[in-house]
Amino acid sequence: MGSGATLRAVDAVLYDFGGVFMPSPFAAIRTLSEEQGIEYDDALEVLFGSYHEDTDHPWHRCERGEIPITVARQEIRELGRRRGLDLDLFQILKHLGGNGQPIEPMIDCVRRARAAGCRTAIVTNNVAEAKDLWRPLIPLDELFDAVIDSSEVGIRKPDPRIYELTLDVLGGIEPTRAAFLDDFPGNVVAARKLGMIGILVEADPTPAIRQIDELLG
């Protein structure tokens, strides 16, 4: 270990996937709601449920690997109908921004974290059906010591157990020695409650990346 080890403020950096390495689905829901002339909060509630909580909403159950996405899609359509809204889960895909390519500055950020001696992980709320679509988008094996997918472990953010599980898998990292990046505020808040350094990634990821670089010393 060189002097970097003493200057470094963290031993691990945990990254969300959607909205961090790829465009945010929340931004897509915003575009979708504007297009349909409905409130963002209403669209979010129907499509993704109360996302700062872990509930029995069909999307949450799908992210925990409890139901297939086809069932979630159907139930979500019905939830929308009851509120007089015509919302299809799959519309989100059509409104995802970007060019289908990952956000390169964030990939470089992971490489710098590893070069500084940090362990790295993905902590993603995801659905089993998307596995073959998202995993090839970035070089997971090169970049991460662990990939924790909610649909595989049956736990989803913001449940604190998914953060604890990740820190365990990384070799028992102290929460205070770990940074966590996510594009959804509720997930960042949950990480901070555990003592982690929670960093919100906005549409421009530059400030979040700068914070990581500062922590790397």
Please return the burial class of 20, using the count of CB atoms within 10 Å of its CB with bins 0-12, 13-18 and 19+: buried
Determine the interface stretch with Mg ion among 29-37, 74-82, 148-156, 179-187 (rule: CB under 5 A): 179-187
Q: Tell me if 63 contacts Mg ion by CB under 5 A.
A: no
Of the candidates 183, 200, 176, 170, the one whose C-alpha atom is nearest the C-alpha of residue 8 is: 176
Q: Tell me if 16 contacts Mg ion by CB under 5 A.
A: yes
Q: How many residues bind Mg ion (CB under 5 A)?
A: 4
Q: Tell me if 183 contacts Mg ion by CB under 5 A.
A: yes
Structural tokens at position 28: 């897509």
Which residue bears the tokens 């996302």?
51
Q: Scanning residues 118 to 157, which ones bind Mg ion (CB under 5 A)?
A: none
Q: Tell me if 18 contacts Mg ion by CB under 5 A.
A: yes
Q: Which is nearer to Mg ion, 18 or 102 (CB)?
A: 18
Determine the interface stretch with Mg ion among 10-18, 81-89, 97-105, 111-119 (rule: CB under 5 A): 10-18
Q: Which is nearer to Mg ion, 16 or 54 (CB)?
A: 16
Least separation, in Å, of the C-beta of 23 and Mg ion?
Answer: 10
Of the candidates 139, 21, 140, 35, the one whose C-alpha atom is nearest the C-alpha of residue 86 is: 35
Contact 13, 120 (CB under 8 A): yes
- Rounded Cα–Cα distance for residues 207 and 196 (Å): 18
Binding site for Mg ion (CB under 5 A): 16, 18-19, 183
